Amino acid sequence: MDKIAIVDTMFARFDMGAVAENELKRQPGFGNRFEIVRTTVPGIKDLAVACKRLIERENCLLVLAFGMPGRADLDQLSAHEASLGIVAAQLLTNTPILQVFVHESESDDQEELRTIARERSAKHAINACWMLYEPEQLKQRAGKGIRQGSADAGSL
Amino acid sequence: MDKIAIVDTMFARFDMGAVAENELKRQPGFGNRFEIVRTTVPGIKDLAVACKRLIERENCLLVLAFGMPGRADLDQLSAHEASLGIVAAQLLTNTPILQVFVHESESDDQEELRTIARERSAKHAINACWMLYEPEQLKQRAGKGIRQGSADAGSL
Amino acid sequence: MDKIAIVDTMFARFDMGAVAENELKRQPGFGNRFEIVRTTVPGIKDLAVACKRLIERENCLLVLAFGMPGRADLDQLSAHEASLGIVAAQLLTNTPILQVFVHESESDDQEELRTIARERSAKHAINACWMLYEPEQLKQRAGKGIRQGSADAGSL
Amino acid sequence: MDKIAIVDTMFARFDMGAVAENELKRQPGFGNRFEIVRTTVPGIKDLAVACKRLIERENCLLVLAFGMPGRADLDQLSAHEASLGIVAAQLLTNTPILQVFVHESESDDQEELRTIARERSAKHAINACWMLYEPEQLKQRAGKGIRQGSADAGSL
Amino acid sequence: MDKIAIVDTMFARFDMGAVAENELKRQPGFGNRFEIVRTTVPGIKDLAVACKRLIERENCLLVLAFGMPGRADLDQLSAHEASLGIVAAQLLTNTPILQVFVHESESDDQEELRTIARERSAKHAINACWMLYEPEQLKQRAGKGIRQGSADAGSL
């Protein structure tokens, strides 16, 4: 059975991994075509190697990597460094890792942040399945201004 | 037959991949010397690994990678990270990937942005063919201030 | 016996490595399941290769890398470069390296800085053991806003 | 016969590659010890992989990579990304690539920019020969504040 | 006999490599345990690959890499890019490269800059020997706020 991995952090202030797990379980292939592997690391810069290990040691076909950088400048820099690591991990494994970060700076309103985190996590869980099993879903939306966690921007 | 790949995103607000595909189809070698492979990913940071996979698994000789970063600082940072990934993917595969990004910040006028996106995509599709089949076209234009998506800057 | 490595610098103004070593020695597995390897390098940019050598030559299963960047802009930049190196070292070795940096800019009060350094070092020593021997401890805290060196931020 | 490569862009607004080619042809070893290989790519971010291919496929011993970033912030960022790619290409091939960039922001005066571009290109062509055939020329100038494209800064 | 390498630039305005060479010659192991290899490159971005070549082709056990970035923003950026290259070169060779940069921006006073350059170069030459032959010297100074080129910051 295929494996989709979820990797998240203790640092994040919302359990995005749980949302993604629930969404994945609602997808058609769950339980027959793919199963879910989950792991948690301390912080955002620990994600990349954790993703790489799940790909190489557990043969995961795709990873969803969740993080929630704080408002501090140092947190923003950590997110940037983590992100470069995730890009590198993808190239070294030839495997997609969907980086699902919600920045606390995206909203001053906690309820809105929760909504962004929930929506973004769920939408990327669906993207994960599309990438593996229905790539034509992505192709149909090429250049359409699709967003995760906010309203679609739409075409110009 | 050679393969030229087009990779674009759902995030972009203009279907640059379609413009490039049409332009490639107008080039002399289309259908006999080269064919086109297309794939779409969610966002800009998913491009690099998708390009690398097409090069290594589908033997594509060159990839056109399209993205349209938004105006937000976080979008600009994503574009930078994506770009470093595309540079790395080229080095790891010894294969050119033409990065065709249109930044929403390039113009406040939607019609102008569309024009930039259209022109840049078409010009880079031609560059792709030149790189593979007519490198002397590039050599003749060395240092001539050639632009894609705006008027040529010309020589100093 | 497993090995956990501690790498720190002469540049840092607090002996974070000693705190971590003491904390590790209080953990259940110490002396039977794992032993400690320690090394010191001049500055923060010397950490990444030192970690990689300990992983590859001493077979360390996990490294704690300690640094304390100064307030100067050049120090901040060095920390960023060091951090990218540590991310890369993890990917090249498939081994977690917990980056434990305390920035002098985090507080103007020396006593508070010492407290941050002490707490962060101890907490990450515990994280190291959890990653190797009790990963469910991390999983239970996914998305709970856990911090090291300051009060937990908690869930949104 | 040894090969020295020149790689430049259509984007640049001055034909720095031609200046370097002429300078190389004036050097003692030209035609007996080394020959010149030239290629042109669209823009600055296409340089790194082109250099790497010339090194690995054409066995070039050294590459001169020419670029002229524009004044726009996006151009400056592209130059930074290109530069990191060139650093990486050197490390992956164990071969020197002299990065010869002239930034339009270096002067508001077009004639001065042309002079900078001309001088820098010629000086680096000489550096290329020194690196391969007369390394003692470089050693004699260690720490002497040597510049290319402007007056030497001299020793402190 | 072991080899320690010194790599410096023509760009620097002070002959830091000479200071380091003299200091190394005063160390106990010189001439019996280790010898010195020296090379000079044009500028700071040429350091990383030169270091890597000396490690891989000349079997140098450690490299001291000297640079002196100017005050211009472009020089600062070059230093950052060079620094990332040096970090990468260390990881690719599993060999320490001590990056010894003096930024002209560190002081407006030329005499002070010379002093910084002299002290930093000498101190890092000693660090090099400690890393290879007396690692306990480094361990004893862990977290003690040791500096090179200015007074030690001391412990918090």
Tell me which DSSP letter residue A77 carries: H
Strands (E), chain B: 2-9, 34-41, 62-67, 97-101
For residue E135, what are its two tokens?
Answer: 């690692």
Name the strands in the sheet holding B2-9, side by side, starting at the edge strand that comes first in the sequence: B34-41, B2-9, B62-67, B97-101
Mean pLDDT of C31-36: 98
User: Residue B113 and residue A143: Cβ atoms within 8 Å?
Assistant: no
**Which of B8, B88, B92 is the closest to A143 by Cβ?**
B8
Task: Give the ipTM.
Answer: 0.97
Q: In Å, how far from its chain's centre is CA B62?
A: 10
Exposure string of A1-19, with b = 16+ CB inside 10 Å and e = fewer, is eebbbbbbbbbbbbbbbbb
Q: How confident is the model at residue C51 (pLDDT cuts 50, 70, 90)?
A: very high
Q: How confident is the model at residue E89 (pLDDT cuts 50, 70, 90)?
A: very high
Q: How confident is the model at residue C97 (pLDDT cuts 50, 70, 90)?
A: very high
Residues of D in contact with B139 (CB under 8 A): 38-40
Q: Are strands B2-9 and E34-41 parallel, antiparallel or unpaired?
A: unpaired
Tell me which DSSP letter residue D18 carries: H
For residues C52 and C97, give the distance between their C-alpha atoms in angstroms, rounded to a whole number: 9
Residue B36 near residue B21, CB atoms below 8 Å: yes
pLDDT of residue E144: 97
For residues C38 and C44, give the distance between their C-alpha atoms in angstroms, rounded to a whole number: 15
Tell me which DSSP letter residue C112 carries: H
Query: Nearest Cα to D142, choosing from E43, E62, E75?
Result: E43
Average pLDDT, chain C: 98
Find where tokens 């010309």 sit.
B154
Residue D125 near residue D23, CB atoms below 8 Å: yes
Q: How confident is the model at residue E85 (pLDDT cuts 50, 70, 90)?
A: very high
pLDDT of residue B101: 98
Nearest C-alpha in C relative to E134: C40
User: Which residue of D91, D104, D136 is the best one to mutate when testing the E interface, meaning the one whose CB has the most E CBs within 10 A?
Assistant: D91
Helix (H) or strand (E) holding A41, with range, is: strand A34-41
**Which of C15, C52, C70 is the closest to E143 by Cβ?**
C15
Residue C26 near chain A (CB below 8 Å)? no
Residue A136 near chain B (CB below 8 Å)? no
Find where tokens 């305005």 sit.
E13
User: Residue D52 and residue B94: Cβ atoms within 8 Å?
Assistant: yes
**Angle between the N-to-C axes of helices C73-93 and E73-93, in degrees from 0 to 180, rounded to the nearest 10:** 30
For residues E38 and E4, give the distance between their C-alpha atoms in angstroms, rounded to a whole number: 9
Nearest C-alpha in A relative to C132: A41
User: Which residue of E6, E10, E36 is the best one to mutate when testing the D interface, meaning the one whose CB has the most D CBs within 10 A?
Assistant: E10
Residue E144 near chain C (CB below 8 Å)? yes
Length of chain B: 156
Mean pLDDT of C80-93: 98
User: Which residue of E14, E81, E103 is the best one to mutate when testing the D interface, meaning the one whose CB has the most D CBs within 10 A?
Assistant: E81
pLDDT (tens digit per residue) in D25-83: 999 999 999 999 999 999 999 999 999 999 999 999 999 999 999 999 999 999 999 99
**In C, residues 85-104, which contact E (CB 8 Å cutoff)?**
85, 88-89, 92
User: Residue C139 and residue A110: Cβ atoms within 8 Å?
Assistant: no
For residue D60, what are its two tokens?
Answer: 């070039």
Residue E21 near chain D (CB below 8 Å)? no
Domain ranges of chain B: 2-140
Helix residue spans in A27-134 (DSSP H): 47-57, 73-93, 110-133
For residues A119 and A147, give the distance between their C-alpha atoms in angstroms, rounded to a whole number: 10
Give the closest-approach CA distance of A155 to chain C in angstroms.
33
pLDDT of residue B55: 98
Task: Compute chain C's Rg from CA coordinates.
Answer: 15
Q: How confident is the model at residue B94 (pLDDT cuts 50, 70, 90)?
A: very high
Give SS3 for A98: strand
Give SS3 for C63: strand
Q: Could you give the dihedral angle defined by the CA atoms of residues B114, B118, B121 and B124, in that order, rounded to the nearest 10 degrees?
A: -120
A41 pairs with which residues across the strands?
A: A9
Considering the entire predicted model, what is its pTM?
0.98
* Contacts of A151 by beta carbon, 8 Å cutoff, 6+ apart: none
Residue D17 near chain B (CB below 8 Å)? yes
Residue A77 near chain B (CB below 8 Å)? no
Residue C10 near residue E142, CB atoms below 8 Å: yes
The CA–CA distances, whole Å, from D10 to B72, C101, D4, D60 equal 30, 44, 20, 22
Chains near A (3 or more Cβ pairs under 8 Å): B, C
* Contacts of C145 by beta carbon, 8 Å cutoff, 6+ apart: A10, A11, A12, A13, C152, C153, C154, C155, C156
Q: How confident is the model at residue D16 (pLDDT cuts 50, 70, 90)?
A: very high
Give the closest-approach CA distance of C88 to chain E in angstroms.
8
User: Residue B83 and residue D84: Cβ atoms within 8 Å?
Assistant: no
* Contacts of B23 by beta carbon, 8 Å cutoff, 6+ apart: B121, B122, B125, B126
Q: What is the mean pLDDT of each run of 10 residues along chain A (156 residues)?
A: 98 98 97 98 98 98 98 97 98 98 97 98 98 98 96 95
Residue E119 near chain D (CB below 8 Å)? no
Mean pLDDT of E112-130: 98
Helix (H) or strand (E) holding E3, with range, is: strand E2-9
What CATH superfamily is the domain B2-140? Lumazine/riboflavin synthase (3.40.50.960)
Residues of D in contact with B147 (CB under 8 A): 11
Residues of A in contact with C83 (CB under 8 A): 45, 77-78, 81
Find where tokens 């491009």 sit.
B47
Average pLDDT, chain D: 98
Name the strands in the sheet holding A97-101, side by side, starting at the edge strand that comes first in the sequence: A34-41, A2-9, A62-67, A97-101
CB atoms within 10 A of CB A54: 24
Q: How confident is the model at residue D89 (pLDDT cuts 50, 70, 90)?
A: very high
Q: In Å, how far from its chain's centre is CA B156?
A: 26
User: Residue B156 and residue D70: Cβ atoms within 8 Å?
Assistant: no
Residue B135 near chain D (CB below 8 Å)? yes
pLDDT (tens digit per residue) in C105-154: 999 999 999 999 999 999 999 999 999 999 999 999 999 999 999 999 99
CB atoms within 10 A of CB E150: 13
Helix, strand, coil % in chain E, rounded to nearest 5: 50, 20, 30
pLDDT of residue D8: 98
Residue B78 near chain D (CB below 8 Å)? no
Residue C121 near chain A (CB below 8 Å)? no
Instruction: Give the CA diameter of chain A.
Output: 44
Mean pLDDT of B78-99: 98
For residues E103 and E71, give the distance between their C-alpha atoms in angstroms, rounded to a whole number: 7
pLDDT of residue E91: 98
User: Residue B138 and residue D41: Cβ atoms within 8 Å?
Assistant: yes
Mean pLDDT of B116-141: 98
In chain E, the percentage of residues whose pLDDT exceeds 90 is 100
**Which of D94, D98, D138 is the closest to E53 by Cβ?**
D94
Residue A91 near residue B85, CB atoms below 8 Å: yes
**Which of C87, C154, C155 is the closest to A48 by Cβ?**
C87
Q: How confident is the model at residue E153 (pLDDT cuts 50, 70, 90)?
A: very high
User: Residue E144 and residue C9: Cβ atoms within 8 Å?
Assistant: no
Nearest C-alpha in B relative to A123: B42
User: Which residue of B87, B94, B126, B150 is the best one to mutate when testing the D interface, meaning the one whose CB has the most D CBs within 10 A?
Assistant: B87
Q: How confident is the model at residue B125 (pLDDT cuts 50, 70, 90)?
A: very high
